[in-house]
Structure 1
Amino acid sequence: MPESSGARPEVGDELELEVGDVAHGGVFVARADERVVFVSDAAPGEVVRARITQVKRSFARAVALDVVDRAHEARRAHVWPEADITRDPELRPGGAEFGHLRPDAQRELKRRVVTDALARFGGVTRDVEVASTAGDADGDGTGWRTRVTLHVDEHGTVGPYAARSHRVIPVERLPLAVDAIDALADRHRTARGPGRLEFTAASEGEALVRPVPDRGRATRAGVVRERVGAREFDVDQDGFWQVHRDAAATLVGAVGAAIDPELLDPRAPNLDLYGGVGLLATSFADVGGADVRVETVESARAATEHARRNLAGLPGASAVTARVDRYLEHLGRDSGAAARDAFGRATIVLDPPRSGAGGAVVRSLVELGPAQIVYVACDPVAFARDVGTFRELGYEPGGILAFDLFPSTHHVECVATLRPVR
C-alpha cells in the first residue's frame, strides 16, 4: 500500500494513491492522510501517481498522471487520444471520463453508482443493472452524440473545454460524436471568437452548425426534424432533445413498458411533466391508444408550440406552457373533490432536469394522489433523493431500469415506476 507523506496535500503535489471504488461524477475515491481524494482518469484497485488539483476542507481532487501498479483489467487506450492518461492533464478535453475503460466495465461502475445512490439517499436496497442500447451492444463507446458544443476562445481556437476548466483544447476528432458531426467539426477548426459552435445531427437532413458569439447576435436557431419509429418530431436546433442517437426510442419504449395498462385510465387527467416537444407523451398512446387523455407541461414556450404540432395526430393530447411547480400548485389549490378523485386515477410521467424534481414538486404530486408515476432521471443522486421523498410520503418504487445512454461518460439514465402504498 502506498505510504502517507504525513503532510496535508496541497494543489500541485504529486502523490502515489491507492484507488478505491467509483464515486458519483466520474471520479474514484482514494485517501491521503485520512483526507478523501477524488481521483479522475483512474480505476478501482489501481495504484496511480496523481496531481492534486483542488483542496477543500473535507476533501481534495486529483488527476491521475500514470498507473504505478495494478492497472485495471478493463483499462485501454482512451477512445479520445487527446484525453489519454499519457497526455498532460491540463491539455485533456473533458466529457469522456470513462473512455479509458471498456464499455462493460463502464456499465458496471454505473451500476454501482446507481445502486449506492438508491441505498444512501433513497433508502432502497436494489441492484439495478445498466443496459446498453441495441446499437451499442458491441460498440466501443463512440459515435453516439447527435448534439455537440465546441467553444471558441479569443484567439479563434475551436475545441471542447479541458476538464473542470474553461480552457479550449484543440482536438483532431470528436470520437463520441456521430460521423456527420465529426466530419463537419473538422471543417471548423478555427472561428471568430469568443463564443461557441453548436453542432446538431438530426434524424433527417444533414448535420448543422450554429455559431453563438459571446457578444452580439447569434445566428437564429433553425428547426430540425427527428424520427422515432413511425413518428416525427420537430424541435428547435437549440432546443432539448435526447443526445444519444438511440435514446429517444429507448426511453419511449421504457416509459411505455413502465406504465401499467391496467392502471392507465384513458379519461383521467394524465400528465407528461417537463414534456419538451412531446416525446414521452406518445408513450401514453402506445399503451392505451391515440385517444388517451394526456397533457404535456413545459416551461419553454417554443417547445410547447412544437409539442402541439408534434402531438396533433393524437386526439387526447394537449400541451401547455407552464413551470411544473406552479402548474402543480395551481392544480392542488383549485381542484375540487371531483378533480381530486380524477387525479387518483391518473398516470403521471415526469422527466425533470438534471437537478431532479425536488421536494416541492414531489409533495405536490403526492397530494394529487395519482395511481402511478413514471420517473425518468439523468442524475442518479438527484433521482435517489426524490425517490426517498416519495417513499416518505407513501409512494414506493416498483421496477427500476437504467440505461447507458452516455457511453464513455459517467452519466446514466434511470426509469422508475412509483405507486402509492395502499
Structure 2
Amino acid sequence: MKKDVKLLGMAAMFFMTFASCTNDELRECYQGEEISFTTRVTRAVEMKKENLTEFKVYGLGQGSNSFFINGQTAKKGDNNIFNLEQSAFWPTGEPTVKYWAYAPTDITADVSMSAGSQIFNNFIPGDNIETQKDLVVAYTTVKMEDAAKAVPLQFHHALSQVEIKAHCPSIDKQVYIKGAWIVNVNTIGKLQFSTAAAAMNYIEWTSGTPGKYGISLDATQLGSKKESATPLLAGKTNMLLVPQTVKGYDFEAGSGAYILLLCRVETHHDGQIENDPEGGSSQSGPIYNDVPKNKHIHQLFPITKEYNSNAYGYTCVAVDFDWKSGKKYVYNLDFCGHTSGAGVYPPENLPEGLPEGDDIIEKPGDKDPGDPVLDNPIRFTVDVDSWSSGHDDGLEEEEVEVK
C-alpha cells in the first residue's frame, strides 16, 4: 500500500510538471506498466510448471542496446504470476520487448548475456545423474498490448533425457546387470539463443569434452519372467544430457560412443549333472548343481574356470546417438533373444571410475575387443518421445540391430 501511495504522489508531481499531458501520455512518460510474468512449462519429469518457483530473466527493448531487466530473479506468487524482486516497468516508447529467461537460477555455466548474443558457456549437467537438474529456457518477443496482465513465457527443455532399459525374452537364460553407462558422449556444452534455430525453440548447442554417464547398481535380474523391459536406472532419475550427435564406436578407428554394461549371463535347466555334485564345467561354461531345487546352472558369461555366482564382466554395444533438445530417448536392450546375444567385448581402455575387484572378470586372452560375448550381439530398439510437447504427440520407434 505504501508503494502505491508513493507512486501516486510521483504521478501527481509529473502531472503538475506536464499539465498538458493526457493520463495515457503521463503514464508513458513516467514508467509504463509494471511487469510480471506467467509461465508454461512443457511436459517433463524434472522441471514442471508446478515446481518452477523462480527463474532469471532479461528484458530488452526493440530499439535499445542495453537490458532494462538484467538477470533479475522472478519469484512465484499467487495464480502462477511471477514477480520481479525489484519492480520493473515497460520501457518508455518501446512497443515491443524481447525476453530471455532460464531456470534453475543456479546452473553450472558461464552466463554471458548482451543485446547481441545470449550464451551459456561451459554448461555442465553434472557427473552424478542422481543430482542433475533439468534446464528450461524461454525466449519471446512481446507487444505491450499482449502483456496487459503479465508477460507470457513458454519454457522449453534445453537438455535431452536418456533412459536405458533391458529385456531378456529367453525362456531358460537369466541376465543380471550391476551397472550401465553411456561412454564417449560430450559432458560439457555451449547453449546459445539463435534466431536461426527457430524450429528448436531458438536453442542451439555446441558440445565438447567427451566422458561417461551412468550408475552402479545392485544386481538387477532381467530374466525370462520379465514381460516388459526393466529400467536400469530404476528408482533413479533418468540422465539429463547435452544434446549432441555422436557416431557409434568403431573398433578399427578406436573412437565413438557405446553403452557399457556390467553383467552376468546364466542358463538354467531342470535336473542335475550326474557325478558332479559340487560343480564342474562343460562347453556351455562352468556348472553349478542346485540340489534343493533339482536344477543345474551354466555360467555363460563372464568366462571363469569354476562357477562363481559373484562374477561379472563388461560388455558393450556401439550406438549412434542423435539427441535433440527436449526429446526423451529410451534405449531398449534385447539380451539373449531369438537373434541377439549379450553384446561384444568393450575397448581395452575403459573410462576411469568404473567398478573394479576380483569378481570383475577381464576379457579372455583369446578374445579381442569387438568379439561377441556370446553367439550374437545385443539387439535394441530406440524410442523417441516428444518430451518437448505438452500434448501426447505419439511415439516414434526405430529398430536397430547392432552388428
TM-score range relative to shorter protein: under 0.3
Structure 1 or 2: more helix by fraction: 1
Question: Higher strand proportion, which one?
Answer: 2
Bigger radius of gyration, 1 or 2? 2
